[in-house]
Structure 1
Amino acid sequence: MKLVSLIAIGMLFSASAMAGTKDDFIAEVKKQCGKDDGAAAALATGGRQGNVMKWKTCTSATVTVGDCTLTCTDSSSKIGG
């Protein structure tokens, strides 16, 4: 029972951590690409290979998501740069 409780708590924390990042991603898409709420939310795909993670890790100076190219603005999240 303790294991189930720990797993549930872990899932809650990971979901809330991703929610802030996803909201930040949507705000950047709206700001940099001029997309509306719906279009920006549609580009906010999750997972390790998703657009939100690509933008958050900023492995290059820009990240292309759909027809939008985002400039990485958070220098603390750049890997190897």
Structure 2
Amino acid sequence: MLRLASATLKIIFVSLITGAGLSALDVTAADILMEMGLTPENVLALLERGVSWAVPNIVLGSMVIVPVWLVIYLLKPPRG
């Protein structure tokens, strides 16, 4: 857990430094998206499509995986 928190903080710190540097060069997120041929609305639409696809599949998969995991967990010999 500590490694995950440490990695997250490092990513946040490096992102902050990079963002400050790009801001000093007058580069915005909208500029970068336009260079790639996207708009913020397109990005949001793509994210919505991705979430609307992923959530039902995650729920469906968990309906199989959770009971299987529970049975395996219950049938394991006790530790100690």
TM-score, scaled relative to structure 1:
0.36
Greater strand proportion: 1
Point out which structure has higher relative CO (alpha carbons under 8 A, 6+ apart): 1
Pair member with larger Rg: 2
Greater helix proportion: 2
